[in-house]
Each structure stands twice: as structure tokens, then as C-alpha cells.
Amino acid sequence: MARTTSLSGFPEWLPEERIVEQHVLDSLRRTFELHGFSSIETRAVETVEQLLRKGEIDKEVYGVSRLQQDEEDSSKEGALALHFDLTVPFARYVVENNGYLTFPFRRYQIQKVWRGERPQEGRAREFTQADVDVVGDGTLPFRYDVELALVMIDALSALPIPPFVLRVNNRKLAEGFYRGIGLEDAPAVLREIDKLEKIGADAVARNLQEAVGASPEQARAALALAEIRTEDTSFVEQVRALGQSNELLEEGLAELAEVVGEAARRAPGKVVADLSIARGLDYYTGTVYETVLVGHEQLGSVCSGGRYESLASTGKKNFPGVGLSIGVTRLVTRILSQKMASASRSVPSAVLVALNDDESWSAAQDVAGALRSRGIATEVAATAQKFGKQIRYAERRGIPFVWFTTVAEDGTVGHEVKDIRSGEQVPADPQSWQPAPEDLRPGVAAAGSSED
């Protein structure tokens, strides 16, 4: 498990833990690129106005300023803050660079974000997110909502984590239903429904009546919709059985059925239509997603997102999109704390070149150079201690092989390499010797499986 740092909410990893995190990041990159997403990076800061224009999250935002800031500095630009997610900066990036992008624009982005909330397992103040989005110019076909679900299933399936469930809903479905029962302030209803798992149905019913003005009958109807969960498209008939129908509701039903139907065909059991999923942020307009690990539901969603029609806009033109975000730090923290996966060693080095004497250091560097030229990570001992001590150093470091150079009486130079795990020592040529593929670099193995 990662050490507790002296500054709460800002996690740091030990070397072997960092290897696990890098494995997760590399796996995500491979999957995103296999699906045709391009990598971008945006700046760490945005103007406060930009960050707060969608949703009420001002208490979570970290402001940024110079310790010695003067009036001239503050007058040149608006107040700055660290971004709390990657979606809002991405929207700004699309607007500013739309003349240079090809639409639909498929992007993935893996960066640190900062959020000023109370630290606990699964929630940090500094953490890494991995986002994928598709953004259109003016319009974006709904099929991308389906594709994003399939991309995320592929991405999460490749990680050393327990089984997961991608829970999907549609804001059009929910808003159409609420209007049908006479609740016109759909965003307010959604914000209360979003609290269902945290506070329970009775508390949500009270909130709907006190904060939204719902009657007891309307509150019961809203909760009845939220109770519907199916692994196939049978939710459509269950919703219709509640007795409401309007154009927006029917549009949401059709869209959700397409997402769930295709995902259920390709990845049975991975996707559930869950009509309690609301997503609190106001910019979502259609499909919304949340993902939980089976048996670890208390951790909360490890991947979420949805469809937005006007988060990115020039004023004259909208750039609608759909995207999902993985909480990488949340996932890695749980992987490490529950020992779901571990690194085969804590260092990249596969070989330690031992020294016969201090004068042989330069020759040892020649051996190391030959090995490194073929991609074999190699260290050279710093001092010519007894071989036993040099071998123990390699063991402490987790280096699997120690390289020895021998000089015969006639001056002939030979080389041998020792696998310090098995004790086997064999002749080797620095120009051609190669370790087994699994020893070339640190591997990450899920609990109960072989190394990757």
C-alpha cells in the first residue's frame, strides 16, 4: 500500500507502486490509440471564470497566484485556478483551436487535476484522470455515445481490476419523465436523485418535496423510475409501464436502448441500464455513464461521463461531444491497497555488472553500454566489493542478473552472467546475450495470474 504522505490528499508512490501506476497508464494509452484517439495535453490552469461557468463547484477549485503579485499582474488577466477536471479545459481547447482540428475530433488526455475536497480513499486533492472524448462541429452522430461505452469496456477490461459494471442512463429519458409527472425543474430533480445511493430513498423523497416542490405522488413516481435496472433493453417496457409518454422521453428511451443493446451484445454483463444515474454536473444533456467495481461499490464511480451539447461553443457555433473520464489515482489506490496487482521488481535494471577491482570500472561500462544498446537496462557496481556483497546489493535492488568479467592467465577476457534467483551461472557475450522476455523489464501481475 502507498505510504501516507505528510500532506493529506496528495499521494506519492513507492517505486514498485509507481510501476503499477505506469502499467495502468500504458494500458489505457494503448487501448485509446487502438480506437483511434489522439493524445493532447492542456495547461494546468484556467481562468476562474472559465472553470466556474458550468456547475457550482467553486468550493473545490484551487486558486493560483504569485506570492508577490502586484496590481499590474492582476490587471493583465483574470484570476487563475488549477483545473478540477479535464472536460472544461478541453472545451476551451476545442473552441480556441477549432480551425486546426479535424472533426469529429477524437482525443484522449491523461493529466493531473486538482480538487479541494476532503481526502479519503478514492478521493484525493491531486490525482490523475484519463479522459476520452469525441467532439463534432455543429453536430455529432449519436453512434459515438455507443462507441464510447465500448471503448471504455475495452480499456477497463485490460486492467488488473475486479469485474466492473458500466451503468448507463439518459438525461432526456429522465427529464421527459419528470415533465410528464409535472416536475418542470428537471435539473433540480436530477441533483436530488443523484444523492440516492448516499442518503437513501426516504431522504431523497423528502428532499424532492422540500427542495423541488414535488408532491408525495410525484416523489414516488420519480423514485420508481430510479429503481429500474436491467442488463438488456427490457427497461423500455418497464418505463412505459409507469404511464408517462412524451417526445423527449421517447427520444431518451431510444438512445439508451441503442447503447445498452449494442454493449450487451458485445460485452454481456458489463453494462446495465440504471435509471438512478443522474450525474450532478449541469452540462450533460443525453447519455450519462458511471462505472463501479463489483464488490467495491463503496469506492464510488471509477469512470464516469456523458453527452454534452453545448459545453464547447464559440457563441455562433456549438461543438457537441461525448466523453468518459477514468479516475486513475482512485483505481491505482484500490489496486494497491487490496493487492490486486504487484510489480515483479521495483527497479527497471535487469543486470548489475560486477567489478573485479576498481580499475575494471571503465571496462564494465563497456559491457553495460553493449547491453543497453539492445534495450537491456543495466547498472554498474560503484565499488569493487567482494562478489558476495555485490550480489546481495543486486538482491536488495531486485535486479535478477549479475554480470561477471573473467580474465584468464593468458589475458583472454571472458564473460559470465548469474541468475541470482536460481543460482545458475553461464557464459555470455555482451553483444548477443538476452534475458528471458519476462525479465527484460518489470512486469505487473494481477493477483493469482502470471506476469504481464
Binding residues: 85-87, 115, 129, 133, 279, 283-284
Residue written as grid cell 486513475: 328
Alpha-carbon distance of 63 to 65, in angstroms, equals 7
Nearest Cα neighbor of 225 from 291, 279, 171, 293 is 171
Residues contributing to the annotated binding site for L-histidine: 85-87, 115, 129, 133, 279, 283-284
Other C-beta atoms closer than 10 Å to the C-beta of 425 total: 14
